[in-house]
């Protein structure tokens, strides 16, 4: 549309008067055919188309009338122009005021959504920070679980150094194996939970980035509309932009514009609620895992203490029996010495009796009789030999008993040494090391 077509609200006024509107005046045209007219030969060489007075008057009248018509038309155009200017001025002012009002309403809408975006960004940022704290708690709990695993496996390895029959699958070992299995399960749960927390933090940051991009766009749009709304007819930075009065191909509608921001905020709220639920889950996981680990820790310690009581009791009994064996060994050694002395003491009487019998074999002739003395000496030798045999048998029995008691003594001493080693391992190597077991506070993820 051209510039001349914009302001036209009335049909254009004709700049000439139609012929039918002019007053019709009959004119008497005298034909130049008289005797003395110019049509004759005597006038040859002179102008033959001269105007007559009536034509002259008619021509002047037409010019007067044309001037009158032009003045009248000009007055009408001037009046209509004033009316059009006033009307268009009012329309322009009303349109500009409406545009300014619409810009103000648009600024309110942008400010509202910008405020909602800012609030959601701040809430999401605070929630992400809380989730980061839960992440740090999970990492601390994992480190504590690693320490607990090291202590438990170290206990099992140390108890493999037990000797002899003390290398037994006892209640302590069962509880330690349960503890190792529990720690492995806890580590798995904590790692999976930590992975979920890391993913949720990433989703929170992605949602925050979308909100920040939207907020940034609205911030720029707000500045632009504030600048546009502040422009007026007296502004110095206004100029013509002929191609600006159009809709861009990629422009959105108010509905899609509001729906876009609403969708972004809704998604961010969904992620924030998921983050809140995940934080609650982390609290429950850390509470339950720390309590389970400490309960198993207490059960292992109770099994250790019970086992130490059993070992100390067995050691005390072994030491008691060792003392009794040592006493019996001493008594038996005295008994053996006494038996040896008794056997030695029987040698002289036996020699006497045998010498007597030997000497009496030299009695001559009939004097070599079986008299009571002979019978008594023979009986004496038999009794002495029997006594010596009995004493020697008892000596051998005492020596065997002494040897057995010596073996028992060595066995008891070895067994006591085994018990001492087991007690040392369980009390010094295991229980002392378990004093460094993480507290429930650290297992819960706190320093």
DSSP conformation letters of 368-394: ----HHHHHHHHHHHHHHHHHHHHHHH
Within a domain: residue 66? Answer: no
Within a domain: residue 228? Answer: no
Q: Where are the alpha helices (DSSP H) in 160-170?
A: none
> Which one-letter DSSP state was computed for residue 238?
-
Per-residue pLDDT 10s for the chain (447 aa) are 444 343 334 444 444 445 444 455 454 444 444 444 444 445 445 555 677 888 888 988 898 899 999 899 999 999 999 999 999 889 988 988 998 899 899 999 999 999 999 999 999 999 999 999 999 999 999 999 999 999 999 999 999 999 989 999 999 999 999 999 999 999 999 999 999 999 999 999 999 999 999 999 999 999 999 988 888 888 888 787 787 776 667 778 889 999 999 999 999 999 999 999 999 999 999 999 999 999 999 999 999 999 999 999 999 999 999 999 999 999 999 999 999 999 999 889 989 988 988 888 888 888 888 889 889 989 989 999 999 999 999 999 999 999 999 999 999 999 999 999 999 999 999 999 999 999 999 999 997
Within a domain: residue 34? Answer: no
> What six digits make up the tokens of 103?
């810009």
**397: domain range?**
320-361+368-440
d(CA 49, CA 443): 129
Express each pLDDT in 19-59 by its tens digit.
444 455 454 444 444 444 444 445 445 555 677 888 888 98
Look at the block and give the residue holding tokens 């959601």. 120
Look at the block and give the residue holding tokens 């999401």. 124
Q: What is the pTM of this model?
A: 0.73
d(CA 309, CA 402): 32
Express each pLDDT in 103-143 by its tens digit.
899 999 999 999 999 999 999 999 999 999 999 999 999 99
> What are the angstrom distances between the C-alpha of 270 and each of 29, 112, 123, 345?
102, 20, 12, 109
Within a domain: residue 23? Answer: no
Express each pLDDT in 298-340 by its tens digit.
999 999 999 999 999 999 999 999 999 999 999 999 999 999 9
For 19-24, the CB contacts below 8 A with 24+ separation are 22/62, 22/65
Q: Name residues whose C-beta falls within 8 Å of residue 197's C-beta, 6 or more positions apart in sequence.
A: 131, 134, 135, 138, 278, 282
d(CA 125, CA 215): 14
Sign of CA dihedral 71, 73, 76, 78: negative
First to last CA, the chain: 77
Within a domain: residue 253? Answer: no
pLDDT at position 159 is 94
> What are the angstrom distances between the C-alpha of 158 and each of 152, 297, 302, 424?
10, 17, 18, 10
Within a domain: residue 55? Answer: no
For 156-165, the CB contacts below 8 A with 24+ separation are 156/180, 158/425, 158/429, 158/430, 158/433, 159/425, 159/426, 159/430, 161/421, 161/425, 162/418, 162/421, 162/422, 162/425, 163/418, 163/421, 163/422, 164/414, 164/415, 164/418, 165/418
Within a domain: residue 350? Answer: yes
Within a domain: residue 42? Answer: no
361 close to 368: Cβ distance less than 8 angstroms: yes
Total count of domains within the chain: 1
17 close to 69: Cβ distance less than 8 angstroms: yes
Q: Name residues whose C-beta falls within 8 Å of residue 130's C-beta, 6 or more positions apart in sequence.
A: 275, 279
> What six digits make up the tokens of 230?
């502040």
């Amino acid at each position: 549309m051209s510039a001349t077509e914009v302001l036209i609200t009335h049909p254009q006024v004709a700049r000439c008067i139609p012929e039918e509107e002019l007053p019709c005046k009959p004119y008497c045209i005298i034909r130049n055919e008289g005797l003395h007219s110019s049509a004759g030969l005597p006038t040859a060489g002179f102008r033959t188309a001269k105007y007559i007075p009536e034509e002259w008057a008619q021509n002047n009248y037409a010019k007067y009338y044309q001037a009158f018509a032009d003045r009248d038309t000009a007055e009408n155009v001037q009046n209509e122009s004033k009316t059009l200017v006033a009307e268009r001025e009012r329309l322009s002012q009303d349109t500009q005021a409406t545009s300014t009002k619409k810009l103000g309403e648009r600024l309110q809408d942008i400010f509202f959504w910008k405020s909602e975006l800012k609030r959601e960004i701040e809430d999401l940022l605070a929630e992400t920070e809380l989730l980061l704290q839960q992440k740090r708690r999970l990492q601390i709990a994992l480190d504590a679980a690693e320490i607990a695993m090291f202590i438990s496996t170290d206990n099992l390895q140390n108890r493999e150094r037990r000797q002899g029959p003390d290398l037994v699958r006892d209640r302590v070992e069962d509880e330690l194996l349960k503890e190792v299995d529990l720690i492995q399960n806890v580590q798995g749960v904590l790692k999976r939970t930590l992975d979920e927390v890391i993913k949720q933090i990433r989703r929170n940051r992605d949602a925050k980035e979308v909100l920040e991009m939207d907020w940034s766009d609205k911030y720029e749009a707000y500045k632009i509309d504030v600048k546009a709304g502040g422009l007026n007819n007296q502004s110095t930075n206004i100029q013509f932009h002929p191609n600006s009065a159009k809709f861009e191909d990629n422009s959105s509608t108010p509905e899609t514009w509001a729906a876009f921001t609403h969708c972004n905020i809704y998604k961010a709220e969904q992620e924030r609620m998921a983050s809140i639920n995940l934080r609650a889950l982390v609290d429950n996981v850390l509470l339950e895992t720390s309590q389970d680990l400490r309960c198993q820790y207490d059960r292992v310690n109770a099994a250790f203490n019970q086992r130490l009581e059993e070992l100390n009791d067995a050691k005390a009994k072994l030491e008691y029996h060792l003392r009794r064996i040592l006493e019996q060994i001493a008594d038996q050694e005295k008994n053996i010495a006494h038996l040896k002395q008794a056997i030695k003491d029987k040698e002289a009487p036996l020699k006497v009796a045998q010498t007597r019998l030997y000497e009496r074999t030299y009695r001559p002739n009939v004097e070599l009789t079986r008299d009571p003395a002979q019978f008594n000496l023979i009986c004496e030798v038999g009794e002495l030999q029997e006594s010596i045999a009995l004493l020697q048998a008892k000596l051998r029995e005492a020596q065997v008993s002494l040897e057995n008691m010596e073996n028992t003594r060595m066995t008891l001493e070895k067994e006591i040494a085994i018990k001492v080693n087991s007690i040392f391992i369980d009390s010094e190597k295991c229980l002392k090391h378990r004093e460094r077991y993480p507290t429930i506070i650290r297992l819960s993820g706190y320093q």
